[in-house]
Structure 1
Amino acid sequence: MVRERYIRQISSLREDLLRMFSMVEQQLLRAIRCLESWDTIAAAQIIHDDQQIDEAWRALEESVIHVLATQQPVVASDLRLTSVVTAIAGELERIGDYANSIAKRVRRASRRSSFIAPPPQIHEMAQLVLHMVNTSLEAFLHQDVELARSLTDHDERVDELEDTLRALIISEARQDPDRFEAAVDLLDMVHALERTADRATNIGERVIYLATSSQTTLN
């Protein structure tokens, strides 16, 4: 009976993490749509909903602590799972923060008298980052090491796009100093996307550790 309860608790940790994955993916998707449409109403809702992700993160951490305190798992794979769940939940919470940051910048940019249209490369970057988060989820679901490793190539492309976008946005600002603050808004949004990609690769590293017990660096 005790063992069965323990198995249910371990299973519940995975399910709670998957729910958090879903929440964060949706939040990121909404932030990207918000960036592409400059929808300030949607931006306000994203900012409001960020608290739900924070609450899910705290609840998951409490669940991990409860399992460790009451069940004292001795199986190495279970110990890895609890540590990986905690680490991935932290990465997801940060991705939620980046989505929140994008939404805040959209609201701020919409109030400015000057405006810089996002270069088309920002769409490619946003979609690639969203794909990376989804890939990290699939890698966790299936403990797929090769899928996790595939995040490296995507991360390199995101870094290339960040460099390109920074150059384009700064060039725009130099042509018209009145648009400097608008450029800062866009640069911050680009940086939030790049950091999200880094968090996705961090999740990939945790998946590899879960599956192989070995530490690796993907970015």
Structure 2
Amino acid sequence: MVRERYIRQISALREDLLRMFSMVEQQLLRAIRCLETWDSTAAAQIINDDRQIDDAWRALEESVIHVLATQQPVVASDLRLTSVVSAIASELERIGDYANSIAKRVRRASRRAVFIPPPPQIHEMAQLALQMLNTSLEAFLRQDADLARSLTAHDERVDELEDTLRELIIAEARQDPDRFEAALDLLDMVHALERTADRATNIGERVIYLATNSQTTLN
């Protein structure tokens, strides 16, 4: 009976993490759409919904602590799973913060008198970041270390795009000093997307640890 309850608790942790993955994925997707449409109303809703992700993260952390405190001894594989779940949840919470940051910048930029059209590379970067989050989820579901390692190539492309976008945006600001604040908005969005990609690779590292019991660095 005790073991059955323990198995259910471990399963519930995994399911809660998958729900958090879904929440963050939707939040990031909505933020990217805001970036494409400059919809300040949608941006305000994203900012408001960020609290739900924070609440989900705190609840999951409490569940992990409860499992570890009430089920002793914990077998090594389950201990690894609980530590990975907690670490991934923290990464997801940060990605939610980056989506929130993009939404805040969209809302701020939409109120400015001067506007810099986003270079097309920012959309490629956004789609790559979203794809990397999806890949990290799939890798977790399969416990697929090779799939997790594939995130490295995408992360390198994101870094290249970040460098390109910084040059383009700064060049725009130099041509017209009135565009300086608008340029800062775009640069902050680019940074948020780059950090999202980094967090996805961090999740990939946790998946590799879960699948192989070995530490690795992907970025």
RMSD: 0.5
1:34-88 residue CA offsets vs partner (Å, 9 max, x unmatched): 0010000100000000000000000000000000000124211100000000000
Q: Once the two structures are aligned, what percentage of the paired residues are identical?
A: 89
Correspondence list, 1:193-208, <5 A: 193-208=193-208
Aligned to 1:175: 175
Q: How far does the alpha carbon of each residue in 1:63-118 deviate from its partner, in whole angstroms, 9 at most, with x for none?
A: 00000000124211100000000000000000000000000000000111100000
Q: TM-score, normalised by structure 1?
A: 0.99
User: Conserved in 2, the CA contact under 8 Å of 1:129 and 1:196?
Assistant: yes
Partner in structure 2 of residue 38 of structure 1: 38
Q: 1:135 to 1:73 in 2, by over 3 A?
A: farther
| Superposed displacement of residue 20, structure 1 | 0.1
**How far apart in 2 are the matches of 1:145 and 1:87?**
17
Are 1:99 and 2:105 counterparts? no
**One-letter identity of the residue aligned with 2:128:** L
Distance 1:142 1:8 in 2: 19
**Aligned residue number for residue 61 of structure 1:** 61
Contact kept in structure 2, 1:34 and 1:40, CA below 8 Å: yes
Aligned to 1:10: 10
- Give SS of 1:116's match: coil
Partner of 2:72: 72
CA distance in 1, matches of 2:54, 2:11: 21
Contact 1:20 1:89 in 2 (8 A): yes
1:133-212 → structure 2 map (5 Å cutoff): 133-212=133-212
Total equivalences in the alignment? 219
- Runs of 4+ more than 3 Å apart: none
Gaps of 5+ in 1: none
Contact 1:73/1:79 (8 A) holds in 2: no
CA contact (8 A) 2:30 2:46 kept: yes
Deviations 1:106-147 (A, max 9, x none): 000011110000000011000010000000000000000000
Is residue 43–residue 106 contact of structure 1 (8 Å, CA) maintained in 2?
A: yes
8 Å contact 1:44–1:103 — kept in the other structure? Answer: yes
